[in-house]
A = this chain, B = another copy of it.
Amino acid sequence: MYPERVVRMLTRRFFVSPCLCGKQRCMTWKHLRSEPGPDFGIFQSRFDWLENPRNSHSLKAVVLEVPDWINVAAFTPEGKVVVVHQYRFGMRKTTTEIPAGIIEDGESHENAAKRELLEETGYSTDRWEYLGWVEPNPAFQNNRCHQWVARDVRRTNRQNLDDGEAIAVQELSVEEVRDKIHKGDMRNSLALLTLSRVLDVWGTSA
């Protein structure tokens, strides 16, 4: 390892990486060891001991091992957006979001998107388009959120909720969605990010 002063100087001035892998701006920390932490059901915690490439200082980090998630921006043939209202335990309030859920063990993210839309809302379609995936929280979660858009969705079934769910469904026009976002009535970051790929959510180019 280079002396810390030299590494700091190089990193600062030339943006070269303190990691020795050769890739520019790679800042990989050395993994020392891991230990499982408490299991919370919807995620499992893990402790990693890592070494800072900049100063060889070692650190204990908590990582949540979370299954991948899906988000669905669903549009009716009339161009309305299907939203879900549900009480969220984290924020302790009823939110307005888009259909979303957890990918089950061994399930494809495409199937999870179709299943969650159907279960949470009773809506379905055969017009699906994959938008991509994002990192919900790269700092302490290891999962991805896959983003789907469903077009020409129709109410074909009944909702099929778990005992642990209570969800109300509503169709909103794009203007109503934008208005809710503007008023602060839709703030779920992942829902907003998925919508931002298919709508001008902030009304900036309206």
From B55, B90, B197, A204 is in contact (CB under 8 Å) with: B197
A40 neighbours in B (Cβ, 8 Å): 37, 45, 62
Contact B205 A94 (CB under 8 A): no
Q: Mark A37-71, 1 if CB is under 8 A from B, else 0.
A: 11011100100101011110101011110000000
Contact A139 B88 (CB under 8 A): yes
Contact A15 B188 (CB under 8 A): no
A142 within 8 Å of B (CB atoms): yes
Number of interface residues of A (CB under 8 A): 79
A3 within 8 Å of B (CB atoms): no
From B27, B85, B196, A201 is in contact (CB under 8 Å) with: B196
A89 nearest CB across to chain B (Å):
4
From B25, B38, B134, A189 is in contact (CB under 8 Å) with: B134
CA distance A50 to B69 in the complex (A): 23
Q: Which residue of B lies closest to A155 (CB)?
A: B12
CA distance A42 to B169 in the complex (A): 35
CA distance A154 to B55 in the complex (A): 27
A166 within 8 Å of B (CB atoms): yes
Q: Which residue of B lies closest to A142 (CB)?
A: B90
Contact A145 B189 (CB under 8 A): yes
A140 within 8 Å of B (CB atoms): yes
Chain A interfacial positions (CB closer than 8 Å to B): 11-12, 15, 17-19, 25-29, 31, 37-38, 40-42, 45, 48, 50, 52-55, 57, 59, 61-64, 85-95, 97, 132-142, 145, 158-159, 161, 163-170, 184, 187-190, 192-193, 196-197, 200-202, 204-205
